[in-house]
Amino acid sequence: MKLKIAIQKSGRLYDDSVKLLKECGIDFNNSMNKLRTEASNFPLEILYLRDDDIPQYVADKVAATGIVGENVIAEKKKKVKVVQQLGFGKCRLSIAVPKDKTYAGARGLNGMRIATSYANILSAYLKKNKIKAEIHEISGSVEIAPGIGLADAICDLVSSGSTLFSNGLKEAATVMESQAALIANPRLNRQEQEILTKLIFRMKAVRKAKKNKYILLNAPDKNLNKILTLIPGMKSPTILPLAEKGWCSVHSVIMEEEFWDVIEKLKDYGAQGILVVPIEKMVI
Ligand code: PRT
Ligand code: ZN
């Protein structure tokens, strides 16, 4: 029995999806012209598909699970379960207007024509905000719609904002935040569920490791307690005496996002020889 997982065949999610599976210790051949491949050391079969098709394939159980953007999951409205956010493919679905137009809040969109490939999400947003606007659904190059007179505003994915900028548009409101997620068919058999549970366990360990760093430092005994409160670690820090009297070595784990703050304070408390190293997997 193998679990089938659908990932994007090519595009923005392809590299990170393959990387994540490989970081989970799963070996497979990912030459670009393949449509499917089997892992050699884990009961997984990988199907390469267009991202838009992944929710449908998972809902129909052609693939038991898949990796796809939350924007696509929300737009397609298929019967799939989001089991895990994956932290890559981050972007937002935003409304943008020509940069010389003043944006008078969501209400200001009343009566406008908005071009988008995300008609379902946009229509729910307009309804929620009691806006009466016309949705003009197009499948690509949405950002040129205002320039060619097709629409007054657009609703499209934004990451750096440079596409909007180079098309003379500015971001006016965020409709949804998105990142890649692991989805699954809600009715997996017992064996599929067991393999999926193992896969999720590995993905969590990889994600957790990325968010944390291993830290080693030398601490003066007199400030040890203060230093320990800054780096409490997973259970508690390891403390080893140094050959030099009055000093010890402390090993612990810190969150990536707290990193610079913590380092500054550690230095203030006299910590020396601070080493920070990446963690590959982390299981608590
Ligand atoms: O061929 P296939 O249908 O599989 O791929 P696709 O062309 O439909 O999708 P693709 O590969 O472009 O994007 C796949 C997924 O990546 C999306 O569904 C999102 O979940 C995620 N993602 C993250 C993005 C972006 N960031 C993004 N910036 N998808 C698209 N964009 C586009 C956006 O549409 C706009 O044209 O990039 C442009 C804006 O980027 P900035 O950086 O200029 O703001
Ligand atoms: Zn697509």
Q: Looking up tokens 């409304």, which residue turns up?
A: 95
Question: Does the beta carbon of 157 lie inside 6 Å of ligand 1?
Answer: yes
The burial class, CB within 10 Å (0-12 / 13-18 / 19+), for 244 is exposed
pLDDT value of residue 31: 78
For residue 108, the model assigns a pLDDT of 85
Contact status, residue 64 vs residue 3, Cβ threshold 8 Å: yes
Average pLDDT on 171-176 reads: 95
Q: Whose CA is nearest to atom 32 of ligand 1?
A: 157
Residue ranges of alpha helices (H) inside the chain are: 14-23, 54-59, 70-76, 119-128, 162-166, 190-211, 224-230, 259-268
In short, whether 159's Cβ falls inside 6 Å of ligand 1 is yes
Ordered by start, the domain boundaries in the chain are 3-89+179-209, 91-177, 212-278
Question: What is the CATH architecture assignment of 3-89+179-209?
Answer: 3-Layer(aba) Sandwich (3.40)
Tell me the ligand closest to 12's alpha carbon: 1
194 lines ligand 1 (CB under 6 A): no
How far away, in angstroms, is 237 Cα from ligand 1 center? Answer: 42
pLDDT bucket at 268, cuts 50 / 70 / 90: very high
How far apart, in whole angstroms, are the C-alpha atoms of residue 98 and residue 171? 9
Cβ neighbours of residue 182 closer than 8 Å, sequence gap 6 or more: 65, 66, 67, 82, 83, 84, 86, 199, 200, 203
Q: Is the Cβ atom of 186 under 6 angstroms away from ligand 1? A: no
Could you tell me if 20 and 81 are in contact, meaning their C-beta atoms sit under 8 angstroms apart? Answer: no
Query: If you measure from the C-alpha of residue 67 to the centroid of ligand 2, how many angstroms do you get, rounded to a whole number?
Result: 13
What's the N-to-C CA distance of the chain in angstroms? 29
What is the tens place of the pLDDT at every residue in 36-70?
999 999 999 999 999 999 999 999 999 999 999 99
Gap from CA of 7 to ligand 2 centroid (Å): 12
Report the alpha-carbon distance of residue 196 to residue 156 in Å, rounded: 32
Atom of ligand 1 nearest to the CA of 165: 43
Select the CATH number that applies to the domain covering 212-278 from these four: 3.90.1150.10, 3.40.50.1110, 3.30.70.120, 2.60.40.10.
3.30.70.120
Same topology for domains 3-89+179-209 and 212-278, yes or no? no
Residue 156 near ligand 1, beta carbon < 6 Å: yes
**Tens-digit pLDDT profile for residues 200-241:** 999 999 999 999 999 999 999 999 999 999 998 888 899 999
CATH entry, 91-177, from 3.90.1150.10, 3.20.20.70, 3.30.413.10, 3.40.190.10: 3.40.190.10
Residues bordering ligand 2, an ion, CB closer than 5 Å: 51-52
**Tokens 């998105």 found at:** 178
Extract the tokens encoding 28. Answer: 């497979």
Q: Residue 174: pLDDT above 90?
A: yes
Pairwise CA distance, residues 145 & 136, whole Å: 10
| pLDDT tens by residue, 140-158 | 999 999 999 999 999 999 9
pLDDT value at residue 33: 75
Torsion sign, CA atoms 150, 151, 152, 157? negative
Q: What is the pLDDT of residue 200?
A: 98
pLDDT band at 97 (very low <50, low <70, confident <90, very high): very high
CA 118 to chain centre: 19
Judge whether residue 176 has pLDDT over 80.
yes
Rounded distance from Cα 50 to ligand 2 centre (Å): 6
| pLDDT at site 229 | 94
Q: pLDDT at position 106, please?
A: 80
